[in-house]
Amino acid sequence: QTVRTYLLEQQFLEVETPTLQSVYGGANATPFVTRHKALGIDFYLRISNELFLKRLVIGGFDRVFEFIKNFRNEGIDRTHNPEFSALEFYQAYADYHDMMRHCESIFECCALAVHGSTQFEFEGTTIDVKAPWPRLTMLEAIKQFAEISFKTLSDEEVQALLAAKGWHLDGSFSRGRAMQLIFEESCESQLVQPTFITDYPKESSPLCKQHRQNPELIERFEAYVMGWEVANAYSELNDPIRQRQLMEEQVERGRGGEAETHPLDEDFLRAMEYGMPPMGGIGIGMDRMVMLLTGQNNIRDVILFPTLRPEQFGE
């Protein structure tokens, strides 16, 4: 309720988008598939509502948000459940810097509502969500936490590093994908206090705008607390020609065996062609936020009916 109040005060409109989708997209994830008997086609439980919310902004709703249940056909661990709660919101004429400010404000408001302070304890560590949060580029984080000067390494040296560490890329080698893997394996767990990691490699998402200063990067950030990713945001790509090109490239990689690629969403691409304003967008994991604020270290403890293996499984 605190988050909803904040967004309404910021002139956002709460909306609803479909849970059953004929084309899935908006996240790198594997969907659950179901069959529509009357139409005779497959539908997918949504992995994200991103493309629908963007279509609403294109249609003239400048600021929209939605609390949703997402469904991802993936593993279960202490921070992942196949069905989970998320918040996504999009704002026309904004970028990822604006989304950082919204993210900080939301966490501040929620901490104050729960604890009466921006500081709280989690597993013996004092967390302070007061803005502004530190901002590190991914390259800076790799240098600081992994002590690797990634920019000075050749492709051969990067591949040798991955082999020495036993880290394996899904699909073919690229410097950007290697950079993200090194960050995930060596840096994420060290991000204890709230931190924004910015400026991801261009390979990490087909939906994000190219960085205004470096064409090899995109204007993306993820927010981390206690080593957990709690938010993911972009300056959204609004060039329909470039968007189609990136989506088609991803489809081709999927045909080549790469996992978790998007199909083409022609309805979204057609909407973009009518004119998509510059915008910023963000997704926040509500379950993980609740875990942090209530001191729970397992997502099952903040979901009333988490996904579990049935007792009679295998009988």
For residues 27-37, give the mean pLDDT. Answer: 93
Contact between 221 and 197 under an 8 Å Cβ cutoff? The reply is yes
- Considering the entire predicted model, what is its pTM? 0.94
For residue 313, the model assigns a pLDDT of 64
| Distance (Å, whole) CA 93 – CA 213 | 19
**Residues constituting the chain:** 315
In the chain, the percentage of residues whose pLDDT exceeds 90 is: 90
For residue 46, the model assigns a pLDDT of 96
DSSP letters for 50-105: HHHHHHHHHTT--EEEEEEEEE--S--BTTB-SEEEEEEEEEET--HHHHHHHHHH
User: What is the torsional sign of CA 233, 192, 87, 106?
Assistant: negative
Contact between 69 and 19 under an 8 Å Cβ cutoff? The reply is yes
For residue 2, the model assigns a pLDDT of 98
For residue 261, the model assigns a pLDDT of 74
- 250 pLDDT tier (thresholds 50, 70, 90): confident
Tokens representing 47? 């992995």
For residue 233, the model assigns a pLDDT of 98
For residue 129, the model assigns a pLDDT of 99
Domains and CATH numbers, the chain: 2-17+48-134+193-302 (3.30.930.10)
For residue 253, the model assigns a pLDDT of 79
Phi-psi region of 33 (alpha: psi -120 to 50; beta: other; left: phi over 0): beta
User: Residue 219 pLDDT more than 90?
Assistant: yes
For residue 252, the model assigns a pLDDT of 87
User: Residue 95 pLDDT more than 90?
Assistant: yes
| Distance (Å, whole) CA 198 – CA 139 | 9
Query: Could you report the per-residue pLDDT of 288-306, keeping only the tens digit for each?
Result: 999 999 999 999 999 999 9
Omega cis (within 30) before 132: yes
Average pLDDT, the chain: 95
Residue found under tokens 């294109």: 58
Tokens representing 260? 């978790």
For residue 314, the model assigns a pLDDT of 55
DSSP letters for the chain: -HHHHHHHHTT-EE----SEESS--SSSSPPPEEEETTTTEEEEE-S--HHHHHHHHHTT--EEEEEEEEE--S--BTTB-SEEEEEEEEEET--HHHHHHHHHHHHHHHHHHHHSSSEEEETTEEEE-PSSPPEEEHHHHIIIII---GGG--HHHHHHHHHHHT---SSS--HHHHHHHHHHHHTGGG--S-EEEEEEEGGG-SSBPBPSS-TTEEEEEEEEETTEEEEEEEEBP--HHHHHHHHHHHHHHHHTT-SSPPPP-HHHHHHHHHH---EEEEEEEHHHHHHHHHT-SSGGGGSSS-----TTTT-
For residues 169-191, give the mean pLDDT. Answer: 94
What is the rounded end-to-end Cα distance, in angstroms, of the chain? 43
For residues 133-146, give the mean pLDDT. Answer: 98
Contact between 307 and 83 under an 8 Å Cβ cutoff? The reply is yes
For residues 155-170, give the mean pLDDT. Answer: 95
